[in-house]
Amino acid sequence: MAENTDLSLVQDIIRAAGGHAASLRELTEHHKGEDIARVLIDEICSRCPAPVNEEPVLVEFVVRTAGEPLSHWLRAVEGAPVRAVPRGEDFVAMRIEYELADLVRELFGPSREHPSGVRGTTLFPYAGSDAADKIGPYFLAAQQATATVLAGCTSAKPDLNELTSRYLTPKWGSLHWFTPHYDRHFRPYRNEEVRVLEIGIGGYKHPEWGGGSLRMWKHYFHRGLIHGLDIVDKSHADEQRITTVIGDQNDPDCLAEIAGKYGPFDIVIDDGSHINEHVRTSFHALFPHVRNGGLYVIEDLWTAYWPGFGGNEDPEQSGATSLGLLKSLIDSLQHEELPPAQGRTAGYADRHVTGLHVYHNLAFIEKGTNAEGGIPPWIPRDFDSLVAASSGGAA
């Protein structure tokens, strides 16, 4: 398994962002302002949409801590991601200024739909010798580049359909139509410090492909830590708040080791091999490491019908497939209502599956304590007796 990077600073920033102002003061007492600013600038660059300005533009980004300005220059130009660069020859179109505490809250605090009064801006005039020719393109490029950078400075909830397109994942608009379901079930977790594990990073054996969905979840869960598991090395996808590990989803010991190091998880998403045996092994190994109130998600249920993935064409013979697993979980949900059976004891899924939502090729399993107590034994178990009891025994 790949070793995790030191996330202590990032975690301290996230926790301070969701706390009292005193927590932010403590943050700056324990960490250098320039180290915090570096994390914030990296986060902004990762959230910025693709620039559309044809003229290269530098935006000076100033983070003020204890009254001291820390300047960074973000370069925006069409065809390249926004990135921090040394002060160069491109014109500086705008200065954006934040107090460090305000920027920490903007990026990592609970989402606010209408943030205001947290930043200062200064638009610079174009000073080149060709100003007469450049003034029009300059203002357009300055506006576009500044809007791009500011779009990365907010934790306002992005549209998941737009994110799946931005990060080139097939969860909406191509192979699948998953994102409305994901948004419905994941929305309550948006302001939490979630830990997400996704099985399957994508790109198969190509060393530089995959990782798009990890970046999508990083943007969507702006306070979360995202982990990706793949059977081949995908460490090219590692970045701030994203950690990849190498492991076999069909190896329970490997999964237990990963969960012990990075869990417990709030959300596990199985988008791995889609081989039915692997899906079942991963669920039984990892579901105990999902915290109560969390979710376990299984994608690509279509493979349950295809022998090439260990599926079965006959729905009546689905016991060993991913759909067979889900069908068994319906009984787990109702285990307290099952007639007593010789020697039957409740299993882990019986005791902890509290909800099941199945869509086309996608399922969400809710984790909790399934112990509401079944219908009392003194309630009649046949219809005629129930009617008689409810009518006081009258004919």
236 is catalytic: no
β-pairing, 362-367 vs 265-270, is: unpaired
The whole-angstrom separation of Cα 228 and Cα 247 is 10
DSSP-derived secondary structure for 342-378:
TT----HHHHHEEEEEEETTEEEEEES---S--S-TT
The whole-angstrom separation of Cα 186 and Cα 262 is 20
The whole-angstrom separation of Cα 165 and Cα 177 is 12
The whole-angstrom separation of Cα 181 and Cα 363 is 9
CA dihedral 76→81→82→84, nearest 10 degrees, is: -110
Both tokens assigned to 214: 């990890």
Question: The dihedral of CA 212, 214, 220, 222: what is its sign?
Answer: negative
- The closest alpha carbon to 43, from 215, 198, 188, belongs to 215
Q: What is the DSSP letter of 136?
A: H
Residue ranges of alpha helices (H) inside the chain are: 8-17, 21-30, 33-47, 100-108, 131-151, 160-166, 179-186, 212-220, 252-262, 276-286, 322-333, 348-352, 383-390
- The closest alpha carbon to 108, from 173, 16, 35, 30, belongs to 16
| Active-site hit among 222, 274, 335, 352 | 274
The three state secondary structure string of 252-265 is HHHHHHHHHHHCCE
Residues involved in catalysis: 274
